[in-house]
Structure 1
């Protein structure tokens, strides 16, 4: 049986180097977790989610020893990067808890204005997202959590940020970019990370 580590890897959203996750990282570190974030290149998603997920896989391979699992927390596009790793790159064996924050699980209208591979993959009804959502049941064993807000004008429609599996929390945060620094979101994330340590794999 795999051993749960206290490692929590935070995955930033599009155009972000991870700085939006610093407050969450500190809160998790203060709670006794080895919280780190990954700087994805290129964070525009220019080369597609596969390219970013491969970086995530490499980072996890460095962080974990054989037989260990970790928690993944993905903000915005970071949640989709995590899902591709989990569902299409056998990452599910290395992760015991998956939390997404304002991620476009079913696409976003605004991705239509990103005319490159990653942008096209994040569009509503894209072949990429449809394939992920056909195998969504694979995420069951990570006891997945999605955190979202109905005030988010970046993820449209708002319902797209609900994974449709596991636990869903709606929070009263007024802007997409404020989600990872919200005290409510951080509190919920910390609670679920702790719960994940007790859940069976």
Structure 2
């Protein structure tokens, strides 16, 4: 039988080695959560989401013991990396709470400027995202949350950052890269982490 742990794993976005998540990590750690973030290689997404999700799986196996489950939080591309792990790599039973922050669940036009595997996977209408979204119902057991802003010019269209299931929060943050550092976003995220433990 699975047991909810106070472990939280943060997954950074594209071109981000995790520095944008340091404030979030500090606040969760101060609240008593065993909080980690992963350095994805290569964080451009060059080799595709599958390559990055395999790294996430290895990290999960390293930080969780036995039947423990954790909270998984993905920022931007990190939310898609997390989803592939959850939905396609049997990670769903290791996570009791999934939170995405400004992730392109239905693709982003910005990804058209990334002419390699990972970029193509993140485009609007990609076969990769279509496949993920066909099995989106699998995420229901993780009490999914999506946090997004209508001012985001990286995730276009803005509606792409909404999962379409679970809880969705719109926040007035003016830039994509500021989302994981926003006091409002962190407050919402922290409350959801606590709710997920109940």
TM range (shorter): over 0.9
How many residue pairs match? The answer is 198
Q: For 1:32-181, what aligned pairs fall within 5 Å after superposition?
A: 32-181=32-181
TM-score for the superposition, normalised by structure 2: 1.00
Offset at 1:131? 0.1
* Unpaired runs of at least 5, structure 2: none
Offset at 1:129? 0.1
Offset at 1:88? 0.1
Deviations 1:21-78 (A, max 9, x none): 0000000001110011000000000000000000000000000011000000000000
C-alpha distance in structure 2 between counterparts of 1:122 and 1:69, whole Å: 28
Offset at 1:86? 0.1
Question: Structure 1 runs of 4+ off > 2 angstroms?
Answer: none
C-alpha distance in structure 1 between counterparts of 2:160 and 2:24, whole Å: 23
C-alpha distance in structure 1 between counterparts of 2:169 and 2:110, whole Å: 23
Structure 1 residue matching 2:96: 3-state secondary structure: strand
Offset at 1:2? 0.5
**Could you tell me which residue of structure 2 aligns to residue 185 of structure 1?**
185
Offset at 1:154? 0.2
Structure 1 residue matching 2:87: 3-state secondary structure: helix
* Unpaired runs of at least 5, structure 1: none
Cα root mean square deviation, aligned: 0.3
